[in-house]
Amino acid sequence: MIINKKFKKDIDIMFLGDIHWGAKNCDVNLVKENIKHCVDNGIYVITVGDLWESATRYSVGSGVYEQKNPQQQFDEIYTLLLPLKEKGLLLNIMTGN
């Protein structure tokens, strides 16, 4: 929790990153629950990278063969984050590696 001295009220923030949406090990339900909780409770979300998998054939491991289509990954995570954006609760500060 961060205290905003200008407005003298508490601000709750959740950092969201390394969810690797589209990877077979991504906990889709947990991600959806956390985002819904933030939307419902006015919690700001700061993304810190690696929101979707997007592995290539040069990536470590077999992710490129197990992931969803990269465009599908992007479309799904965009749709999932859209309610946060519409409420002004979303800030992206890192894109990942």
**pLDDT by residue (tens digit) across 32-91?**
999 999 999 999 999 998 898 877 777 766 666 777 788 888 899 999 999 999 999 998
Torsion angle (degrees, nearest 10) of CA 90, 80, 24, 15: 20
Confidence bin at 96 (pLDDT 50/70/90): low
Confidence bin at 97 (pLDDT 50/70/90): low
At position 73, the amino acid (one-letter code) is: Q
Closest CA to 36 of 75, 93, 96, 89: 89
Closest CA to 81 of 7, 23, 14: 14
Task: Report CA torsion sign: 30, 27, 86, 13.
Answer: positive
